[in-house]
Amino acid sequence: MQTPVRSPNAEAFAESWIAGVKRECLDYFACFSLRHADYLVQAYVDFCNAHRPHLGLGNRPIVSMGKPLLRLAQTSIDPGSVGCLSELGGLLKNYYRRAA
């Protein structure tokens, strides 16, 4: 498919996302097969959709769009109880507060 006439930024979002996948994920692995590369990209996509905050969505992940926002001022959470979820051998990390 060709880029439309007089629209130089038509593919900017796709190119930015592909560059992010390369820079943040694929540069750290040696892929030995197409299946291995597919697994790495799918793990990265799952992490981005489930854990990474998106600025356009109020710093919430895509998966939590139907859930209400949790305000820190309304809750009394111990600031010292933080857990870490790591994926792809520790390359992708998500820090979260544990339930009291």
Tell me the pLDDT of the chain (100 aa) as tens digits.
677 777 777 788 788 889 999 998 999 999 999 999 999 999 998 888 888 777 677 767 777 655 544 544 445 555 668 888 888 888 888 887 777 6
Whether 82 is in a domain gets the answer yes
Domain count, the chain: 1
Amino acid at site 77: I
Domain of residue 58 covers: 12-97
Is 4 a domain residue?
Answer: no
CA atoms of 47 and 69, how far apart (whole Å):
20
In a domain, 3, yes or no: no
Instruction: Kindly provide the b/e burial profile for residues 49-69, where b requires at least 16 CB atoms within 10 angstroms of the residue's own CB.
Output: eebeeeeeeeebbeebeeeee
Q: At what angle do helices 34-50 and 12-24 cross, to 10 degrees?
A: 110
Examine residue 43 and state whether it is found in any structural domain, yes or no.
yes
pTM above 0.85, yes or no: no
Residue 36 falls inside a structural domain: yes
